[in-house]
Chains A and B, each alone.
Chain A
Amino acid sequence: RKEVEQDPGPFNVPEGATVAFNCTYSNSASQSFFWYRQDCRKEPKLLMSVYSSGNEDGRFTAQLNRASQYISLLIRDSKLSDSATYLCVVKRAARQLTFGSGTQLTVLP
């Protein structure tokens, strides 16, 4: 079983739609959680950290459920520029990150 699992998609949604991505992790000792965004043939970039209380950054909302070992990302009012692969990332210790294989999103005009 992979340490971080994501639905690979692809998710194809119309502009303005709300889309949610889910992620599960297997190591209960995981300390920190993130969503990274990766555009085609580019490097990953941090989208947002995920905190236990849940957090929001504009149209993006991240949630963490430590009991279920589950992380989610909600994107509201999707834009064409949101098209990318979204990587669920978990940190255990010594800044070692474990990446999910990513969920591909295409926002259609």
Chain B
Amino acid sequence: NAGVTQTPKFQVLKTGQSMTLQCAQDMNHEYMSWYRQDPGMGLRLIHYSVGAGITDQGEVPNGYNVSRSTTEDFPLRLLSAAPSQTSVYFCASSSTFRQGDRAYDEQYFGPGTRLTVT
């Protein structure tokens, strides 16, 4: 299994440009999400999806769109890039299973996309 893959690894955009960050997972996980990580801020949830055809907003959704047409793919679109969107973007997927009286829910993260908007 490749796990969670993200492309590109690095990207530089000019203000106003649009682009799509790609995310794919091969673990058949129903839950996928996008985070951004900024210095001193921790990871913040942008959008998430609980299954194909279902998406919802997280904590910081403005300026981003997502879609989930398949279980495997969850692309993040920047509509009109702004310098405030300079960040590291992580995609994650997860599934929950129970063992005895405990529930296990581990999120697997992709390697990240480092985006700079000038």
Contact = CB atoms under 8 A, between A and B. Distances in A.
Chains A and B bind each other: yes
Interface in A67-109: 87, 91, 94-102
A95 B40 contact: no
Nearest to B50: A94
Interface string A27-43: 00000100000000011
Majority DSSP secondary structure for residues of B touching A: strand
B105 A32 contact: yes
B24 to A, nearest CB: 15
B66 to A, nearest CB: 15
Q: How large is the interface on B (under 10, 10 to 19, 20 to 34, 35 or more residues)?
A: 20 to 34
A66 interface: no
A46 B107 contact: yes
Interface string A12-51: 0000000000000000000010000000001111100101
A97 B102 contact: no
A91 B106 CA distance: 11
A82 to B, nearest CB: 20
Given A49-B104, A95-B96, A95-B105, A43 B48 contact: no
B94 A95 contact: yes
Contacts of A51: 102
A105 B99 CA distance: 32
A32 B94 CA distance: 14
A97 B45 contact: yes
A64 interface: no
Contact of B42 (A46, A87, A95): A87
Given A43-B90, A44-B90, A49-B104, A96 B110 contact: no
Nearest to B44: A99
Contacts of B110: 43
Given A32-B103, A32-B105, A96-B58, A44 B48 contact: no
Contact of B43 (A32, A46, A99): A99
Interface in B29-78: 31, 33, 35, 40-45, 48, 50, 56, 58
Nearest to B91: A43
Interface of A: 4, 8, 32, 42-46, 49, 51, 87, 91, 94-102
